[in-house]
Homo-oligomer: A and B are copies of this chain.
Amino acid sequence: MINEKMRMLGAKRSAIRELFEYGLKRKREIGEEKVFDFSLGNPSVPAPVELGEGMRELLSEVDPILLFGYTSAQGDAGVRAALADYISRLHSFRCDKDELYITVGAAAALTCSLHAVVSPGEEVVLLSPYFPEYKVFVEGCGGVVREVACDSESFHPDIDALSSAINERTAAVIINSPNNPTGAVYSAWEISEIGALLEKKSSEAGKPIYLISDEPYRELAYDGVTVPFIPKYYRNTIVCYSFSKSLSIPGERIGYVFVPGSVSQSKQVYEAICGAGRTLGYVCAPSLMQRALPLCLGLTADVSIYDRNRRLLCERLTSLGFSVVKPEGAFYLFLKSPIPDAVAFCESAKRHELLLVPSDSFGCGGYVRISYCVKTEMIERAMPAFSALAADFGLV
């Protein structure tokens, strides 16, 4: 019989995807230029030219049997060695090629890691607001989601609340900094506090509680904010990285899991990740894209455009009377809904052809997420609509 749980997940797309599809339809109806789509986190700046050039060169020069052939399940050894060397130098933190497992993007990194360290019935703590697919991934491995609200003003972690949420059934905590949807970047001090808490709780539970760090936005931090490298602050950290945003290649699906040697039973955790990959059907990450990675280490797409968009949006929307959480990273602006019901507010925005995502999708009410990985000129064109929306709610 059809697995009803799977069917529901397939039939009911995420609210973000629904809004995106609505936007496509609306654009066909009234014209591309008249719809202001701030729904998706789809990079709007091109990949570095070195990537495309490097891939063309690989396609011209490497024997196709090798180039398109199976790699080891954990990724090509040479590629892992280059990545490990880069990570070690960048973070001044030892990373060995045999601690890296190359994945089909961050989503695969997360599902493999969760399947590896969560047993059915165990709990995984999510700090709300959070990326809604986390819940799907946790439940997919038989885990139970426990939500902990962030501080309601800063959207940084509330350590006391986190402490209360951890119990003997807790297998892992997922963090995401720079954060989707709030743009918060957790400080070294905050990460230390989380690390100390998890150390204490692990010791009480007599087993490690893993900190799974989802890092697709690592390179997107502004105003000189630094993004701490989490394994330096807590030994049982599993890093899930993606090149989707840094290189503007979200459709190519390439990322990695890093299981540092500091992780308790790190070799066994790594083996379990390999086993999870096998079970889920990940034979290896796409081979051409694996081989292109060493050509792009340290490169990013021109992320200064996101910073420009961020400043522009914050300034203009604040001047219209909206309250925003000033983002320190990622490419999302978290704006306070002028009415408690953010879903209703987003419906009002839609009437001005503004597509904003209500924070309810992220496990917290009262806000909307505005993706600013868009063309700057769309932000300019959207201003009269935002102005009309502000007027609707008596802000101006």
A71 within 8 A of B: yes
A265 within 8 A of B: yes
Whether B9 contacts A279 by the Cβ 8 Å rule is: yes
Whether A3 contacts B248 by the Cβ 8 Å rule is: no
Contact bitstring A314-334, B, C-beta under 8 A = 1, else 0: 000000000000000000000
A276 within 8 A of B: yes
Whether B272 contacts A112 by the Cβ 8 Å rule is: no
Contact partners of A112 in chain B: CB under 8 A: 281
Whether B111 contacts A269 by the Cβ 8 Å rule is: no
A152 within 8 A of B: no
A212 within 8 A of B: no
A288 within 8 A of B: yes
Distance between A219 CB and nearest chain B CB, rounded to angstroms: 16
Contact bitstring A261-304, B, C-beta under 8 A = 1, else 0: 00001001111111111111111111111100000000000000
Which residue of B has the minimal Cβ distance to A286?
B286
Interface residues on A, range: 35 or more
Contact partners of A46 in chain B: CB under 8 A: 63-65
Give the contacting residue for A265; candidates B2, B64, B284; CB below 8 A.
Answer: B2
Which residue of B has the minimal Cβ distance to A41?
B70
Give the interface centre of A3, A52, A68 by most chain B CB atoms within 10 Å. Answer: A3
Contact partners of A122 in chain B: CB under 8 A: 1
A225 within 8 A of B: no
A250 within 8 A of B: yes
Distance between A124 CB and nearest chain B CB, rounded to angstroms: 13
Within 8 A of B (CB), among A1-46: 1-11, 17, 40, 42-46
A118 within 8 A of B: yes
Contact bitstring A102-125, B, C-beta under 8 A = 1, else 0: 001101111110011111001000
Whether B278 contacts A280 by the Cβ 8 Å rule is: no
Whether B63 contacts A272 by the Cβ 8 Å rule is: no
A67 to B247, CA, bound (A): 13
A91 within 8 A of B: no
A92 within 8 A of B: no
- A-B pairs with beta carbons under 8 Å apart, 9 shown: A1-B171, A9-B279, A10-B272, A10-B275, A11-B271, A40-B70, A46-B64, A111-B281, A251-B284
